[in-house]
Amino acid sequence: MNDIRTKISFVESNARDRVKQILDSESFYEMLGPFERISSPHLEKQGIVPQNDDGVIVAKGKIENEPAVVISIESAFQGGGIGEVSGAKIAAALEMALDDHHNGIKTRPVIILDSGGVRLQEANYGLLAIAEIQSAVVALRRYMPVVGVIPGKIGSFGGMSITAGLFSKIIMTAEGRLGLNGPEVIEQEAGITELDSKNRQLIWKTIGGTQRVATSLADELVEDDRKQIVNAVQNAFKTKPSKPRSAQVEKYISILKQVNPKENINPNYFREFTPSLHPYMQSNLQRPLEAKSRGQRWFYALTSLEAPNTKISTTVWSGDAKLGNEKARFITVGPDPGHRFPRVREGEVGLEEGWALAHTINEVIQADAGKEQPRPIIAIVDVPSQAYGYVEELFGLHQACAAAVNAYADARRAGHPIVALLVGKAISGAFLSHGLQANRLLALDDKEVNVHVMSKGSAARVTKRTIAELEQVTADVPAMAYDVQSFQQLGALYELISGIRADHPTKEDVDEIYRKLQQAVDDIHSKRDQSLAERLYSSLAKKERSTSIQVREKMQKQWND
């Protein structure tokens, strides 16, 4: 045990000092620091004072004399929320570290998380940025371990926790927390009987560092001591990384199949399942199921299948059908009123859904391995949100979502053209898990097609606005709006498709969607596109995401100086 007099708290340090502590002495070189004066262009018009580093520190330097980049999120600014500038800084740094590896420079990436997730005041800017961060992590991890540190204060929540689920190694203190939904949000959405956000002891026993390491959802527990954390980071690059958690799909499905949600589940319940794996039986259910959502209706319309494949979960439908002259895999997530996990009965993405998505996508990757032209994957998107529940957080909902993200990113980089078709809601972590890793995004021009990071009621409560005030703000900040027309302004959509009967498509409607899907697949093939970069190239993106582009350009220049 270290003498308390020699300890230097890492938790109490600010984001910039944390980076300096991780990097070798005198090697700290900050990029896009406060003197560059690149602040969020969206906050001031909402009455919020911006910050010139937008709450994210990015610095190059050395770790044990090897090139490194350390990224640190400042929780004191906007709760560590990710907006356009901060998200672009993180994504750009990881993308450039990836370029280094392509050029033979073995840059070591470290990310220090202290974030509540997407910054609600820049909702869809943050959502797009986090998808780009996740894509970069999966790609970079093939060359070098991506190491995450969750020291404390806020911890890690939201989309950045899904990102953490992609890391090669996670280092936590006992004060750190790692979960998808914050306790207050769960209480707002599901009620105090689901989780009392003031029960701090239960919360730390559920999502705190000690529990996460004990259940293998994090790798190393350290004290709040600079030396211990620095040593843990250094050691993470000395050992060959094991298979990423987000790729251990069969293991976690096996564990999940043992869970009985009706039992009295406490934090120790999960620990009992973690050490041993029991074989699970795939249901391989292929019987006609009634379509209870728009996404499920479109699944039947586009596949003409009599029944979906629901191997792992009755809420994740998949099947192969013709698209043009080739076979494509169609996937959707939808409701099941009788599902054993109550929090997903209305179509939310929960534990089974994340792992089931990963399973069906990996199945396609393995089946098409070595083929000159792997089949397209069509993600039909109609997801109201991720699941808000105590059991979901205890068993690592963020990790289940990360598995789906990982699988989609792997499929894209394996040459599968991935097209997401938004026919209904595309909300928050559910959309990150099912849709946002696609090469191309298509959407129906319909009032029920919504894109956002949170329901209107919750967003109003968190931002301390009325719903009317929240809607007024969206007039000036398209990324705060829910409607798909506003989302289109950000430039991420390949096409917004008008004139389609979204709820009851005719044969002509279905034929038109087939044509649009085929055009998107052909465009992916023609450009040999395996990244998400296309979203920044459109004319709308050049206008509405110009700051994201500017951040990348400036960082590229400083990176190479």
CATH number for the domain harbouring residue 147:
3.90.226.10
Q: Which residues contact 401 (CB under 8 A, 6 or more apart)?
A: 162, 165, 180, 349, 354, 386, 429, 430, 432, 433
Q: Examine the domain organization and report whether 290 and 397 are in the same domain.
A: yes
Q: Tell me whether residue 3 is in a domain.
A: no
- Taking residues 289-308, report their average pLDDT: 96
- Whether residue 438 is found in the same domain as residue 516: yes
In this structure, are 214 and 258 located in the same domain? no
Do 289 and 224 belong to one domain? no
> Does a structural domain hold residue 327?
yes
337 and 478, same domain (yes or no): yes
The pTM (predicted TM-score) of the whole model is: 0.95
Q: For residue 38, what pLDDT is reported?
A: 93
| pLDDT score at 4 | 54
pLDDT of residue 215: 95
Q: What is the pLDDT of residues 267-295, one digit of tens each?
A: 988 887 754 444 554 555 566 789 999 99
Confidence band for 482, pLDDT divided at 50, 70 and 90: very high
pLDDT at 3 over 60: no
* Torsional class of 32: left (φ above 0), alpha (ψ -120 to 50), beta (otherwise): left
- Is 181 within 8 Å of 397 (Cβ atoms)? yes
388 with 526, same domain: the answer is yes
Residues 257, 235, single domain; the answer is no
Identify whether the C-beta of residue 38 lies closer than 8 Å to the C-beta of residue 549: no
> 126-160, pLDDT tens digit by residue?
999 999 999 999 999 999 999 999 999 899 999 99
Dihedral angle sign, alpha carbons of residues 22, 24, 26, 30: negative
The mean pLDDT value for 469-496 works out to 87
Residues 6+ apart with CB under 8 A from 310: 283, 285, 286, 289, 316, 317, 318
The type of residue at 511 is D
220 and 311 in one domain? no
Confidence of residue 349 (pLDDT cuts 50, 70, 90): very high
Domain count, the chain: 2
Question: Is the pLDDT assigned to residue 318 strictly greater than 90?
Answer: yes
Confidence at 5, pLDDT banded by 50, 70, 90: low
The answer to whether residues 226 and 288 belong to one domain is no
Same-domain status, 292 and 221: no
Whether 553 is covered by a domain: the verdict is no
Examine the domain organization and report whether 347 and 301 are in the same domain. yes
- In a domain, residue 321? The reply is yes
Question: Does 127 fall in a domain?
Answer: yes
What is the residue range of 482's domain? 251-530
Mean pLDDT of 367-394: 97
Kindly tell me the number of DSSP H helices and DSSP E strands found in the chain. 21, 14
List, for residues 169-178, the tens digit of each pLDDT value.
999 999 999 9
Residue 308 lies in a domain: yes
In a domain, 468, yes or no: yes
The answer to whether the Cα torsion of 197, 200, 202, 208 is positive or negative is positive
Query: Is 98 part of any domain?
Result: yes
Nearest to residue 431, comparing CAs of 247, 92, 159, 89? 159
Indicate whether 156 and 274 sit together in one domain. Answer: no
Tabulate helix, strand, coil % of the chain (nearest 5): 45, 15, 40
> Which pLDDT score, from 0 to 100, does residue 458 have?
72
**Between β-strands 108-112 and 220-222, what pairing exists: parallel, antiparallel or unpaired?**
unpaired
Please say if the pLDDT value at position 549 is more than 60. yes
Q: Poorest-confidence range of 275-284, 320-329, 387-396?
A: 275-284
Residue with the two structure tokens 């090897």: 66
